[in-house]
Amino acid sequence: MNNRRVVVTGYGAVSCVGNDVPTFWESLVNGRCGLGPITRFDAAEYRTRIAGEVKGFDVTRYMSPKEAKRLDLFCQYAIAASDEAMEKAGLPKELRDSGIDPSRVGVIVSSGIGGLQTMSDQDRLLLERGPGKISPLLIPMMIGDLASGNISIRYGAGGPNLGLVTACSTGCHSIGESFWVIKRDDADVMICGGAEASVVALGVAGFCALKAMSQRNDDPLHASRPFDLDRDGFVMSEGAGVLILEELEHAKKRGANILAEVVGYGATGDAYHITSPAPDGDGGARAIQMAMRHAGLNPEDIDYINAHGTATDLNDKFETMSIKRALGDAAYKVAVSSTKGTTGHALGAAGGIESIACIRAIETGIVPPTINYETPDPDCDLDITPNVARERKIRVALNSNLGFGGHNGVVIYRKFE
């Protein structure tokens, strides 16, 4: 197992700041925020009336209108990001006659919530017109594993195929578990990441009831303020982030362009509270330490951390504690940023989207900024790359995501050598 190295050969993104990786990355580096008033439904009575909606998404670039009607929006986003990732990796859309063994290509593209719009629409139909009017596609459009299922069918990928749910760490865990699938020789290629489309009335109402989201409705561009003293909650967004992971020799044999190497993965539980991170940062710290142990890295080897950084009071405070607990004195020397100031919080898609940010940071030597940082918080005293991108040699980048239920996920990427 330890001799099988895992590399990244492709990535694809759909986000509120760009529907492909080049546009997404340009927006991150320039701090171009994608948040604005909700347009999908009338949010006038909601406590929070802003979100990061995907804009200009043309599903007919990827499938026919008839096919699109059979898929919830989160699956459409997942397929779009997967198509870009496959093209970047130089992999064919049809694996069966490509010379690549399709049984050695797997998929873990997951959603934290799944087809919430489909569920909401069909529930309303049930109440208004009765059970006889429910669509036979309700279940296959609603359940979260169908991102992986549809992607597998689309490309003919017959390897390990599953979806997992760990709330906001879903995308991160999907990549990490795919790393182990390749390490243990159950696949040579994994299509992996997260997708989410929960900017719907029920989803927004639920998070409003938790009082977890920002109420800066009159100033959406400055509403998501990770690590800032005056932060007042996260701003929900949507999209998908998908990576192609590949066993090194398999990638080299077909002449693939290697973007980075995956070297470590950590997954832990806080065992503390359903919504609050552990106040001592222990669970997040152990996830970082586990990933570093698998990677054979020391704290001073970490150059960049793309933090979960949701802009909620407890997350940012306790996540800072977890980084300091895991890295010790080296925590003050590492470049940290939360790109959620720009993108908002894409929930189960966050780990996929933010992993792409880590890989692009390695490729370009640019640390994307934490925008909207105005007032320092003594409890968040790390170098969070405020407001302006910074050039820095980045050999090792770490993506961290935390989810309701006390789920902690960390994946470490290294410049391929």
* 42-67 pLDDT per residue, tens: 999 999 999 999 999 999 999 999 99
Per the CB < 8 A criterion, the answer to whether 343 and 370 are in contact is no
Cross-strand pairs, 385? none
Whether the predicted pLDDT of 120 surpasses 70 = yes
Q: What is the pLDDT of residue 276?
A: 87
CA distance 232 to 215: 7
Q: What is the pLDDT of residue 2?
A: 67
Which stretch of DSSP H or E encloses residue 152?
helix 146-155
CA distance 16 to 65: 22
Whether this prediction's pTM lies above 0.85 is answered by yes
pLDDT tens digits, residue range 144-169? Answer: 999 999 999 999 999 999 999 999 99
CA distance 269 to 287: 9
Q: What is the pLDDT of residue 279?
A: 86
CA distance 336 to 320: 10
- pLDDT above 70 covers what percent of the chain? 100
Whether the predicted pLDDT of 314 surpasses 80 = yes
pLDDT tens digits, residue range 243-291? Answer: 999 999 999 999 999 999 999 999 999 999 998 888 889 999 999 999 9
Greatest Cα-to-Cα distance within the chain, rounded to the nearest angstrom? 63
HEC assignment per residue over 33-78: CCCEECCCCCCCCCCCCEEECCCCCCHHHCCCHHHHCCCCHHHHHH
Within its chain, how far is the Cα of 29 from the centroid?
17
Q: Give the pLDDT mean for 367-393.
A: 97
Specify the 3-state DSSP secondary structure of 407.
strand
Q: What is the pLDDT of residue 141?
A: 96
Q: Give the pLDDT mean for 277-306.
A: 96
* pLDDT: which is higher, 233 or 278: 233
User: Would you name the residues annotated as active-site residues?
Assistant: 168, 308, 345
CA distance 122 to 313: 36
Q: Give the pLDDT mean for 93-104.
A: 88
CA distance 344 to 88: 25
- pLDDT above 90 covers what percent of the chain? 96
- DSSP assignment of 349-405: GHHHHHHHHHHHHHHHTEEPPB-S--SB-TT--S---BSS-EE---SEEEEEEEETT
pLDDT tens digits, residue range 184-202? Answer: 999 999 999 999 999 999 9
Q: What is the pLDDT of residue 1?
A: 56
